[in-house]
Amino acid sequence: MIALDEAVLADRFGRRLACEASVSAIEWVGDVAWFACGDGAIRRADMTGDYKPLAAHQGAILTAALDPNGQSLLTGGDDGRLLRVARDGAVEEFGSFGRHWVDHIAASAQSGLIVAGVGKEAMVWKRGATKPTHRFAFASTIGGLALDAKGKRLAVTQYGGASLLYANSSDSGRLELQWGGSHLACTIAPDGDYLISAMQETGLHGWRLSDMTDLAMRGYRAKTRSFSWNRRGKWLATSGDTSAILWPFDSKTGPMGQRPLLLGASEALVSRVAFHPRQDILAIGYADGVVALHNVEDDRALEVERPGGEAISALSWRGDGSVLAWGAEDGRCGLLDIGSQPR
């Protein structure tokens, strides 16, 4: 492609990678971005050096999460396996579930727990376990999983609502939260006060956990697949419309009765969002392949990657916020070093 338009940040401070497979997730293991891909391989890259594929799954990697030890990646695949891939490339099988897909993984450094959504069951590995310790069964297929900030309370969304339980205990009581419709991806607020789920019908449903008040956040054009809380838990950024939609959670009643903040209006749908870990800057990935940075205060924008290609499917900041990594459904990936950017 000949770039006739203005330079974008990736041209000057970035590095582009071609992963040759759809990118399902990006996690940072130390200072290296690990791209988990649809061809079952992982590509590991920083600003220089090669990124040869490291074969892991026999099918597509559907989901990935940083291992509680911080030194390896957990991946779930459509080959029914959950794997742990270490820095030295060693692959260890943590579970194999036949033709059932491992669709979701949540893991916590705090609690050491790993939870995987496999069909209608949530499998749990306690700290140090390499085989599932116990499992929780549900009436329908799991749509999403989330652990709270302490890594103890587990939210599981499904058809008809969500369940909250304490993942560490195999005989945990359950709090059943009912709401008609199919609930997909979910997230628990950093302070543990709210559970928010994305609906098949589009829009969000929320529960304030102190009193089980229901919240409805509607008006999205597409399903929300990406959630990101800012560093103080004030804003929840969400995908699913032609702007990133940010809901305020700093008042006592959360987003109830409040208008959301819209950032980065575009003709394309927002497909991924990721807050910078230290500043109120939101990285936004779009369905047309664009990546941009937006300042929450004034919506000032910097274009990171120009349009062309397919939807951005993964977006992730390095822990110190100095590098942003993105990946798209067509395998176009990139890294942007904002540490070296003149201010």
Among 119, 161, 260, 264, binds another protein (CB under 8 A): 119
Binding flag, residue 126, another protein (CB under 8 A): no
* In the complex, minimum distance from the CB of residue 333 to another protein, in angstroms, rounded to a whole number: 15
- Would residue 207 be called left, alpha or beta, if left means φ above 0 and alpha means ψ between -120 and 50 degrees? beta
**Can you give the three-state secondary structure of 276-306, one letter per residue?**
CCCCCEEEEEECCCCEEEEECCCCCEEEEEC
Among 59, 112, 248, 319, binds another protein (CB under 8 A): 59
Buried b (16+ CB within 10 A) or exposed e, 193-219: bbbbbbbeeebbbbbbbeeeeebebee
Binding flag, residue 103, another protein (CB under 8 A): yes
Among 69, 133, 182, 295, binds another protein (CB under 8 A): 182
Among 191, 201, 214, 320, binds another protein (CB under 8 A): 201
Among 11, 193, 303, 310, binds another protein (CB under 8 A): 310
Binding flag, residue 241, another protein (CB under 8 A): no
Among 46, 69, 133, 141, binds another protein (CB under 8 A): 141
Binding flag, residue 96, another protein (CB under 8 A): no
Segment interacting with another protein (CB under 8 A) among 1-9, 108-116, 178-186, 231-239: 178-186
* In the complex, minimum distance from the CB of residue 31 to another protein, in angstroms, rounded to a whole number: 27
Binding flag, residue 78, another protein (CB under 8 A): yes
The answer for residues whose C-beta is within 8 angstroms of residue 68's C-beta and 6 or more apart is: 107, 108, 109, 111, 112, 113, 114, 127, 151
Binding flag, residue 53, another protein (CB under 8 A): no
Rg, C-alpha atoms of the chain: 19
Instruction: List the one residue out of 64, 70, 120 whose CA is nearest residue 94.
Output: 64
% helix, strand, coil for the chain, step of 5: 0, 50, 50
Among 38, 161, 260, 327, binds another protein (CB under 8 A): 38
